[in-house]
Chains A and B, each alone.
Chain A
Amino acid sequence: MSSPALASSSFADRLAALSSADRLLCGLLIGFALFALTLGIGYGVAMALARSGVLSFLPDTPYRILTLHGTSAFFYWLFIAQAALLIVLAAGETGRGIALRTFAWIGTVLIAAGFVLSELSALTGTPLLYDANPELGLDDPQVVAGMAGGYLLLAAGLTAISVSGIATILVGPRKVADGFSALGFGLFALAGFLIVSAVAAVNAFLPNLLWALGYAAFPKDATTEWHILFHNLHYLPLMATVLVWYALARNLTGAQSITGAAFSKVVFASYLVFVPPTSLYHMFLEPNLPESMRVAGSLLSLFVSVPTLIAFLIVVASLEAHARANGATGLFGWIRRLPWTNPVIANMGVAMLTMLIGLVFAFVLIQEKLAPLLSDTVFVPGYFHFFAVGTITQTFLAVMMVALPAISGRALWRPAVLSRMPWIVLTGLLLFGVGGIVAGFLGVPRRVVDIGYDGAAPALWRPLMALLGVGGVVFAAGLSVSLYGVARSLIPSRKPASARAGQSVAWTITGATGAPAWTGPVAVLTMVVAMYGATIVAFELMQALPVAASGSSSH
């Protein structure tokens, strides 16, 4: 986690020293991402209340809300945030300003146009759900064109911003004899991955758009093409997340990587190596998938989290070794030395915890024999919010808590309050997860809001949906406070730069590394044991319950 460029100033100092034009662009991108998150949370709360039976809507309305929730939170929040973080981290890493800034502006305008088009289409047309499935829009090609067009504009915008990000990183290493810093190379790879995902978006959505406009036949392979894109889309935010952990661990604690920059670069590159071979498990529900591909997909899916776990080990082991070198004792005693009253650390710590919980259940879902039984149940939202909210969103908010005050000069709003929010989010996620996962095992369908079935549904379904609703409201409340706290720093401060320096939330320990570090391996071992346990329980439950595969291949 070391870089020659970092010797003289901190990440926050370098962001504060950017030109006003650069800081305007960074602030605008982060603000745009936070706006999309605000909408995503609002629609998500409405959906949670509808599922729990507290709110009732006209028949189509919940599906419109679900479409808006997925479009706003999954596509626009997560990917605008990644575009923003690519630019912010690249500029903060090199300290030399944003290169090809015009590209970044063009990208921002394209994404804004896509956002308006997607939201209007989802608000006014037939609800297609967030994957913009053209089969649901056979009678309403206009909304298919709107949703596909919006996502294609998003892809074009991400490409333009990635070009600017790549150029920004390339400006940096000219004075560095041995190449990029590890983070610089990770960002360079992430930018390439964003561009590849834009290629996948064109592959998925252009045929839909051409059909909707009357220029091509109906895209009969739309589901398969969506799966390719979806695989990229859920890998990308995890890669961005571990890059942020890497950056924050170094910049907040001063901890250097115990494995060295060269190994970290290999780990970041391994994300790209593992992406294509592990994609087959998304096809397990396709009836025409050859048996040989099912077997290959099952084996390859075991590697899906390898890069994330290795990156997790590097970050945790580096923090632990650094803390032990400074006197921490006991297996977990070093954890108490972390500044948990700092909201950045609290967000990051809870994000790592929720990642381990989410991985346990992700491995249950991607197994070939269980995927057909669980993929269309509320098991899916029950587990993936651990990743989407607990891990990724809280990590992105954590780095924004460092970046925005540096960019705007306005101190972070009430750090003591913000440091408690991740625990509220975790509590909500556990309630939501227990409700969703257990209900999924009991067969509660994922995309059916009224689960009464005229009184024929099992009695346990309703209280589990109530638990899911309560959990959703609790984590949304905690997340909203964090979002508000971050967004307050969007407003520039008129105080002079010297006054801003004291407002940093950074925490620094000094000293050598090289002490033993067991917590990371113990955490991964515990997760693997839990994974096996959850899988055994899942198989036993599935054999005991009268559940049949429901057959849709959407994720």
Chain B
Amino acid sequence: MKQELLLLLGVAAVWSVLAAVYALAPGLGMPGYARVWGGGAVVFLILAAVLGMTRRRTRG
């Protein structure tokens, strides 16, 4: 399950970077993009956390 965790964290990282670019780059003026990609990053982080907890419980 390690591969799945890394893939989900990678996805969350890409979405976070994009959200940060849209939120911080001057002149873009598209806050909706920052909200959605940021929200998506949170969703995939939560999924990664759920997967991590399931993995720990399974091993336990």
**Cβ-defined partner of A276 (8 Å) among B18, B32, B54:** B18
Whose C-beta in chain A lies nearest to the C-beta of B47?
Answer: A192
- Residues of B with C-beta under 8 A to A42: none
* Distance between B21 CB and nearest chain A CB, rounded to angstroms: 9
- CB within 8 Å: A-B pair count: 86
Contact residue among A185, A199, A276, A283 (Cβ-Cβ distance under 8 Å from B43) = A199
**Residues from chain A with Cβ under 8 Å of B27 in the complex:** 290
Q: Once the chains bind, are B14 and A273 in contact (CB under 8 Å)?
A: yes
Q: How far is the CB of A279 from chain B (nearest CB, A)?
A: 7
Q: Mask for B1-38, Cβ within 8 A of A = 1, else 0?
A: 11110011011001100100000000111101101110
B15: which A residues are within 8 A, CB to CB? 272, 276
Residues of B within 8 Å of A, CB-based: how many?
29
Contact A180 B35 (CB under 8 A): no
Is there an interface contact between B33 and A279, defined as CB atoms closer than 8 Å? yes
Query: A199: which B residues are within 8 A, CB to CB?
Result: 35-36, 39-40, 43
Our pick among A225, A273, A293 for the contact of B28 (Cβ within 8 Å) is A293
Asked whether A195 lies within 8 Å of B4 as measured between CB atoms, the reply is no
Which one, A170-178, A353-361, A426-434, A459-467, is touching chain B? Answer: A170-178
B54 lies within 8 A of A192 (CB): no
B49 contact set on A, CB distance < 8 A: none
Assess the B7–A266 pair: CB atoms within 8 A.
yes
A265 to B51, CA, bound (A): 15
Chain B residues positioned under 8 Å from A174 (CB to CB): 54, 58
Contact B58 A203 (CB under 8 A): no
Say whether A179 contacts B28, CB under 8 Å: no
Residues of B within 8 A of A277 (CB): 14, 18
Q: Say yes or no: A269 contacts B8, CB within 8 Å.
A: yes
Contacting pair A272 B44 (CB below 8 A): yes
Dominant secondary structure at the A interface: helix
The CA of A283 and the CA of B30, in the complex, are separated in Å by 11
Contacts of B43 in A (CB 8 A): 192, 195-196, 199
Q: Does residue A553 face the partner (Cβ distance < 8 Å to B)?
A: no
A173: nearest residue on chain B (CB-CB)? B1
| Chain A residues, Cβ within 8 Å of B58 | 173-174
Contact with B along A182-225 (1 / 0, CB 8 A): 00010011001001100110011000000000000000010011
Contact: B36 with A180, CB < 8 Å? no
Q: Which of A178, A196, A266 contacts B1 (CB 8 A)?
A: A178
Cβ of B1 and Cβ of A269 under 8 Å apart? no
A269 and B10 contact, CB distance less than 8 A: yes
Q: Taking A173-B58, A196-B43 as contacts, is the C-beta distance between A179 and B1 under 8 angstroms?
A: yes
Give the Cβ gap from B12 to chain A, nearest Cβ, in Å: 9
* Bound: A307/B39 CA distance, A: 22
29 pairs, CB–CB < 8 Å, chain A vs chain B: A170-B50, A170-B51, A173-B1, A174-B58, A179-B3, A185-B7, A188-B4, A189-B8, A189-B11, A196-B36, A196-B43, A196-B44, A199-B35, A199-B40, A203-B32, A203-B35, A203-B39, A224-B30, A224-B32, A228-B32, A228-B36, A266-B7, A269-B7, A272-B15, A276-B18, A276-B33, A276-B37, A276-B40, A293-B28
**CB within 8 Å of A: which residues of B?**
1-4, 7-8, 10-11, 14-15, 18, 27-30, 32-33, 35-37, 39-40, 43-44, 47, 50-51, 54, 58
Known pairs A174-B54, A293-B28 / 19 extra A-B pairs, C-beta < 8 Å: A166-B50, A174-B58, A179-B4, A185-B7, A188-B47, A192-B44, A192-B47, A195-B43, A203-B35, A203-B36, A204-B32, A228-B33, A228-B36, A269-B7, A269-B10, A272-B11, A272-B44, A276-B37, A277-B18
Residues of A at the B interface (CB closer than 8 Å) are 166, 170, 173-174, 178-180, 185, 188-189, 192, 195-196, 199-200, 203-204, 221, 224-225, 228-229, 232, 262, 265-266, 269, 272-273, 276-277, 279, 283, 288, 290, 293
